[in-house]
Amino acid sequence: MRVTKLEESNVWAFHENLVLMRDGSVFGIYRIPSMVANTMSSEGKEKTKAIVSAVVGDLIPYVDFEINDVPMPRDIIDIMEKLSERLDDDEVYIDLANTIFNKMIQSIYETNGQPFEYYHYLTVPLKSLHISVDMKEVMRQGYRHVKDVVLQGLGLQEDISSDWHKKYHEQRLVLEKHLTLLNAVRIPVEESILLNRIQYLRGMHYDKDYEILSVKSSVQNLDDVNISFENVSVLKLSSVDEESYVGFYPVDQLPTNVSYLHLMEEIHKLNFSVESKIKAKFPSTKGYFSLMGQTKRAQDKIKNAVIDNEKEGDGVKTKQVVDHHLLEDIEERISAGEKMISYMHVLILTADSLEELKARRNILRGTLSSIGVGVLEANADQVYLFYKTMLGKTLEFSDRNFIQKISIEGFAENLFFVSQKVGTDVGFYLGKVDNQIESWFGDYRAALASSVNLVFSDVLEANKQDVHGKVTNNPHIAVTGDTGSGKSFLLKLLFVYHSLLRTKSLYIDPKDEIKGQFLKVADELEVAGLYPELVRYIRSFNFVSLDVKNKENKGMLDPIVFLDRAEGKSLATTMVKTIKPAMSDKQEKGFLEALNQVYSDKEAGLERGMLHVFELMAKSEIEEVCDLGELLFTKSTDSVLNVAFSRGENKGIDTTSKITVVGIKNLELPLESSKLEITDSERDGLVILYAIGYFCKKFGSDDHSEETLMIMDEVWLYKSTSAGQKILNDIKRLGRSQNNFLLVGTQSVADIETGGDETGFGTVFAFYEEKNPDRVLDFIKVPITQETQMWLQNMTMAQCIYYDTYGRKERMTVDGTIFPEMARLFDTVKVKSKDEKNSWEALE
């Protein structure tokens, strides 16, 4: 049976977030931003519920309101287009970024279908037939409604005044004061139109701009859809070439104790969209139609049923006892002056087929039954629920089915206006929020498949101004966790993604493994003729391997070569004093005079380096200066110090390259905790460390207008010495003022704890730490409970806690599957498989 427009749309006109209905009532629609209430934050959830309770209590004078959780299509292409505006102008980076964006989009749609995110809306009547206290106004509205019906019967229609909305200006402002705690947003007229229109397009693909324009041209197009029945009880919507199956499932039963119900949170965990519609009414306090009157009549009905059972020899049924106690509880609450709500909660599913709709319905019912919530199929009421859930429809006394009666505080236990979101609105796709506490036992692909909650991240957003909702502007990022958890994979993934933007990137590689692995992949791809854009990107790197065995690296960190006089003198003095801490005044004077002379020679165009300084000192007539010069020259020959001291024959390390990777080899550093005397090789290591640190500071501070991203893997190397700690803190202090972002990788949050240092980390990706997992929870400000401990300990490979700049913390699974060829860049362990000679697995 096919029917069209079983009931005409009651919408007459739109203005901004106001909707005028044909009966004269006017509704204001507000979008409510998701509040921060992390999965594991009991305190945050209680705060959210308290806010909702307070706001709902302020809505009592309005009698009616509705809460809609609407799954809106997430425009992934738009996200990528906005991100592409920040790409580097060089084609090398644009070409690779476009390949990555295309693979992200393809992967998301193949695994998720149409991606979506939940938008929360609160709709309140500003003026309606139900709340008017002016009898003349009621009469006038009633007359207009009758008149409109008569005119329609004659094929005519009364035009509405274009300024109808002006008389609701003050009422809207008053309402918005009541909604302040929710940060309610007055939506534009286009969103108001779309929100009403998509009620007829559920489950279909649609062109947002076209649908809005269509309704703007004629409000009669709002309900343009064909409705038919499948298997008698399922609605099928169809429009042009699109069709979908829609099921309306009202909540029919709540647990006796609704404390910590958190129904909406459970719904959002499902890996398919569920629209939620709540129609709420504050019942009258007196009279036949009051809640007290209804309660007493329901009690009398139960008593009569019990008497009838006894007459027939049947005992009292359990449900009758439960219902009796529930009604008594409601009566006591009303008598105590507690404000109550009557509401209808309908959950709406869509699918491309009947089978898929039934499967989703069964999953929904099974999930909610586990928390004591019953959901009805309501086969005979699908059309009624379709129209009853329309925006602007309110509960009437005749609506007796599917109605729940509860206190305001109990109502708030549903946990409205919360979503498990983490990351940024615009950014690179990183993975998905993991909705469960249990372990996936290493199967990260199953974890990805179980979720549709996408995570995007642009770590460079932390330094941007006017980003609503941020709780910190700290630009620094930390990736922590045990070896083998996925830490290093994510660190390098973030590095590659963000190096494509208009920023300079510097990667300090303490194992000097990136160069070999990246160039190996580039060679293999080039031979196979695959992904030339990735090959060009890799070959654009400025690879610097600070290996003393390689003559090309001689003098790479020579302060005279890569620094001007003012900066170079400071670093050179620090380096020499590290080798010879107890210099006499004469020795220091002789060193500085030689250093100035060599800089003058360099400024005159001569090729000069630190070895020239030592040679000048060795020629000094002052014996102790001469001895020190000879000592420094000898130490600098055929040792790790070759990297820092030279004759200037090689070009120094470059601070202007777009992407620089500095690999470090054979660097020994003293342990701060060691009581042993520092060895010569450890002193030499400190000399190189100071030079690297100085280079890093210069890299991050040369141009304040330019964004710089500095990646330091295994940051514990710097924490192991007081000298390294000072260098790290100096780099961190560049921060916002100089547009520098520091991305560090380390095995423990203990390595990034700031202590007295206030330059901490605004973004954290915390993988599992076996030695002290509670320290992780404490660091990311999650209460240590048995539940949160399980949440953390059950993380499997590729999973971490993402703590973003908005203060949100969620467990997520990193998705490294979208571009396997690029993922091979991050491999650290080579393994053999049956199918291929050289297969790689990123274990860290």
- 3-state SS record for 776-834: HHHHCCCCCCHHHHHHHHCCCCCEEEEECCCCCEEEEEECCCCCHHHHHHHCCEEECCC
Between these two residues, 730 and 519, which has the higher pLDDT value? 519
- Is there a contact between 507 and 661 (Cβ–Cβ < 8 Å)? yes
Q: What is the pLDDT of residues 252-272, one digit of tens each?
A: 999 999 999 999 999 999 999
pLDDT of the residue at 835: 38
* Reported confidence tier of residue 842, pLDDT bands at 50, 70, 90: very low
Provide the Cα torsion 651, 652, 653, 658; round to 10°.
Answer: -50
pLDDT at 72 over 80: yes
Whole-angstrom distance, CA of residue 222 vs CA of residue 212: 9
Q: Are strands 275-281 and 340-351 parallel, antiparallel or unpaired?
A: antiparallel
Whole-angstrom distance, CA of residue 302 vs CA of residue 318: 12
pLDDT of the residue at 145: 54
Structure tokens of 52?
A: 């909702």
Burial tier of 718 (Cβ tally within 10 Å: 0-12, 13-18, 19+): buried
- Is there a contact between 463 and 473 (Cβ–Cβ < 8 Å)? yes
Of 386-390, 492-496, 739-743, least confident by mean pLDDT is 739-743
Please state the φ and ψ torsions of residue 594, each to the nearest 5 degrees. Answer: -65, -40
pLDDT at 171 over 50: yes
DSSP conformation class of 466: S
Question: Can you tell me whether residue 99 is helix, strand or coil?
Answer: helix
Structure tokens of 486?
A: 């996925």
Q: What is the mean pLDDT of the chain?
A: 86
pLDDT of the residue at 655: 77
* Reported confidence tier of residue 796, pLDDT bands at 50, 70, 90: very high
* Reported confidence tier of residue 705, pLDDT bands at 50, 70, 90: confident
Angle between helix 565-579 and 585-603 (nearest 10): 140
Whole-angstrom distance, CA of residue 4 vs CA of residue 569: 84
pLDDT of the residue at 836: 34
pLDDT of the residue at 130: 40
The closest of 407, 432, 409, 408 to 422, measured between CA atoms, is 432
Q: What is the pLDDT of residues 13-32, one digit of tens each?
A: 999 999 999 888 999 999 99
Please state the φ and ψ torsions of residue 801, each to the nearest 5 degrees. Answer: -95, 120
The residue whose two tokens read 């139960």 is 302
Structure tokens of 69?
A: 């959780």
- Rounded average pLDDT over 799-805: 96
Whole-angstrom distance, CA of residue 720 vs CA of residue 737: 27
Of 278-287, 416-425, 595-604, 833-842, least confident by mean pLDDT is 833-842
Q: Are strands 740-746 and 708-712 parallel, antiparallel or unpaired?
A: parallel
pLDDT of the residue at 734: 81
- Rounded average pLDDT over 736-763: 80
End-to-end CA distance of the chain: 59
What is the reported pTM?
0.87
pLDDT at 286 over 80: no
pLDDT at 586 over 80: yes
The closest of 645, 647, 642, 595 to 617, measured between CA atoms, is 595
Q: What is the pLDDT of residues 529-570, one digit of tens each?
A: 999 999 999 999 999 888 767 777 788 899 999 888 988 999
Please state the φ and ψ torsions of residue 230, each to the nearest 5 degrees. Answer: -120, 130
Question: Can you tell me whether residue 139 is helix, strand or coil?
Answer: helix
Within the chain, what is the greatest distance between any pair of CA atoms?
125
